[in-house]
Amino acid sequence: MIGSHLKKTFSRKIVKLSLDGGFTCPNRDGSKGYGGCLFCSEKGSGDRASSFCEDDSLSIKHALDRQINLLSDKWPDAGYIAYFQSNTSTYAPVRELRSKFEAALNHPDVVGLAIATRTDCLPDEVIDLLAELNSRTFLWVELGLQTIHDSTAKAMNLCHNLQDYDKSCKALLSRGIPVVTHLILGLPGETEKMMLDSVRYVCRESEFGKIFGIKLHMLNLVKGSMMEQKYPDYVSFETMDDYIDLLIRSVEIIPPEITVHRISGDAPREILIAPHWSYKKRTILNGIHREMKIRNTWQGKALEDKR
């Protein structure tokens, strides 16, 4: 898990602070589409992110300070990763990106960056900036692939495809930039086999090595999304046990050297429609760990069994 990896790397507790950097998305501004991906909330799936209105470094510092002040009593000696989460955090001119990323890194308690983006928003000049930052700080880039199946991507109005992912992943890995791939389980029309195929694909060995990490969670139907209008009664997993079973089978095919960054999703309860139980993150995580003990299984076990 990423928490253990970070503690081993930094020899202390490391906490990720979610930021809304004020970015938009080519799937919202008309460059590729309007309204965003069907499942995205009005805030670009960054509903828990701390926002700032201005571009100056002081506003970014204040956004970080607000979160650190809330956490400092619990973890007085922690370090922090500034996580640019909302919308597409590489979708801006390089000058703006540099200003915001550098401002976060200048905070005395920040030890690194995590940058979430789309698979089709990494032009060469942005890759150059990321490579430069990666050479002097701890960094990873999250690619919101969601599924390897282009038919699903089209139905979900993602406006990007597997070819975009392969191109961006290759460009990042070839420059030594760690990649974390985000997949959503339970997208409409996908079978369990299709979901597991997505996990296998992104965890494969490429000519530039493996991805650094993976994020998995169930599809949450939320208020304010286009999906609420198109699939108002959709439920990705009827029961928590159904989700736990598929999640464990996914974890079993993830190589142990790949860090697992998320195994559940917890949309804010006030906007969550379904699954109605998915806000119970601690209950879900406890259920996963308990069931893994019962099954005597672990990350990568299915790969070991094939040897």
List the single range of 15-19, 232-236, 239-243, 265-269 with lowest mean pLDDT.
Answer: 265-269
d(CA 3, CA 202): 21
For 170-192, the pLDDT digits (tens) are 999 999 999 999 999 999 999 99
Contacts of 250 (CB under 8 A, 6+ apart): 185, 195, 196, 199, 216
The whole-number average pLDDT for the span 60-67 is 91
Q: Does position 50 have pLDDT exceeding 70, yes or no?
A: no
Which residue blocks in the chain are alpha helix, DSSP H? 2-10, 57-71, 94-105, 124-134, 150-155, 162-174, 192-202, 226-230, 240-251, 281-295, 301-305
pLDDT of residue 45: 55
Q: Name the 3-class secondary structure at 246.
A: helix
The whole-number average pLDDT for the span 246-263 is 98
pLDDT of residue 46: 46
The whole-number average pLDDT for the span 1-22 is 94
d(CA 105, CA 133): 10
Strand partners, 112: 81, 138
For 99-115, the pLDDT digits (tens) are 999 999 999 999 999 99
For 66-98, the pLDDT digits (tens) are 999 999 999 999 999 999 998 899 999 999 999
Q: CB 301: neighbour CB atoms within 10 A?
A: 18
Q: How confident is the model at residue 36 (pLDDT cuts 50, 70, 90)?
A: confident
pLDDT of residue 216: 98
For 128-157, the pLDDT digits (tens) are 999 999 999 999 999 999 999 999 999 999
Average pLDDT, the chain: 93
pTM over 0.85: yes
Q: Does position 246 have pLDDT exceeding 90, yes or no?
A: yes
H-helix or E-strand spanning residue 217? strand 213-218
Q: How many angstroms separate the most distant Cα atoms in the chain? A: 54
